[in-house]
Chain A
Amino acid sequence: MNTDKNGELTTLMYIVLDGEATSEQRASLERALAADPAARAHFTELETLFASLERLPELEPPKRLVDDALAKVSERPGKFHQPSGASRVSGAGQNDKTSTGGIAMNQRTNGSTRRRTILAGVAIAAIGAIFVGQHYFDFPSDGRQVAGTITPAERYRAEQIKPSDVKLGDQQVAQLMQTPAFEQIMKDPQLRALAADANFQALARSEAFAALAQNAQAFSALAAHPEAFSAMAQHASGFQALAGNAEAFKAAANHADAFNAMASQASAFSALGQHAAAFQALASNVQAMQALGQHASAFVALGQDAAAMKALSTNAQAFLSHGSSAASTHAEAFKVMAAHPAAFQALAQHADAFQALASDAAAMQALGQHASAFHALATDAKGFQALSQAQAFNLLGQHAAAFQALGQHAAAFQALASNAAAMQALGQNASAFQALGQHAAAFQALASNAQAMQLLSHNASAFQAMAKLQGFNALASQPQAFAQALAQASVAQGSVAQGASTNAAFTNGSVQK
């Protein structure tokens, strides 16, 4: 960098990335970056450093940390002392190492509770102040919505309103959310500009958002404005805060009414879907996905966005259970989705989106690991029919890696095989079979289902492909199914013998019974 004398430019970069820069400092940095490629590279390096720190997970403190501390406090002389037996808290010791177990990984929520509380107040106060300023005093927006080229700078900045303006506690925040004034703000056409404001973004990562999520009416008001989501989503830091605030998001997802309110706003969801990183956060929340599955219109909007689907598909965690206790929950999520054929149909109609999903082997593998989920999916006749009849299913079949992943899960595949419409669609795709054929167990599951075999046999190309594969041995070990399929195939296509004759498995005697 030829412009960084005495580290001044680097210092400026740090100040911007720390969110403590003034607008002049940000402008100054933007000019420097525009003029110097080396400076841009250096800034990117610093962003990477910050991002790597941001990505460290927030750890869950031991569950009994506070209870244990209170018990200790109660035992000691002083104002908190309680006579022996008065405390309901068991007394695991201070050095009880077992109490440190159960650490869980969470998304980091950017700062202490105290800070979040302040930001919540600042954000709400800022919303009100900006709204009042713009509407009643007619001062212009400072145009910061176009300052997004250095987005990390927005993280904690709250310049218009000083912390001294904060007067709201959590309860008051929640109450404010319920007021007509808040709704009016949310309905304001200038919300887009407002949402681009750092203070609004601060709201997204604050406890206020959790409070908001607890109020379906307020959340509905927000969800009615896709521009708000869109604006937030356009600011990496703002939306990342929204999507990356596990507590806020959890709060939202835990409130079915609130999340339903959002999911029922298809256009809002469309805006959300345009941002892969944000959607990844969504995709990792089963409850949110459940809510989503109940709203076909939201799913339609989502399905129109290949990038969103790609984000979903690359988030294997979205499809993974969290231990045996949650496995059923996960299956339930898929069941809910599968029980809404209109939603699934909407997805299936979007070949690009489905292609994005199908191209991700990890996602398919995760899906394949859940036989019950897949079963829920596969046994929903209307939903699966919608899928199987669509071009999307053919696209799925073109992704050998995804199908290979699926093929590793015989139980899941068995669920698939029991679905006639699905098998019919599958049968039309030879490449899918080639991928499947590398997994004997999956083939066995398939072969044990005569009906599925029958359906497959109508597709000569698929059968030919199948006959050339090592998995054919597994198939051949099911003479009844095979005989039935073979007979059917002979009648229907007359080409199976040709394919079979090229297969060593066919001639090794395993089917000569």
Chain B
Amino acid sequence: MKHAATTRVLILVAAAAFVVIGVMRGEVGEVLKKSIRVCLECIGIG
């Protein structure tokens, strides 16, 4: 159980770092750009 808790903390620290780096390098804008248009592939005509 202690092993699971340690693993969880390490994953959360790494994940938080990933999110911050991802935001800093502009990935959020890429997500927004794609998601505000109808995804033709998703609806089967792209």
Chain B associates with chain A = no
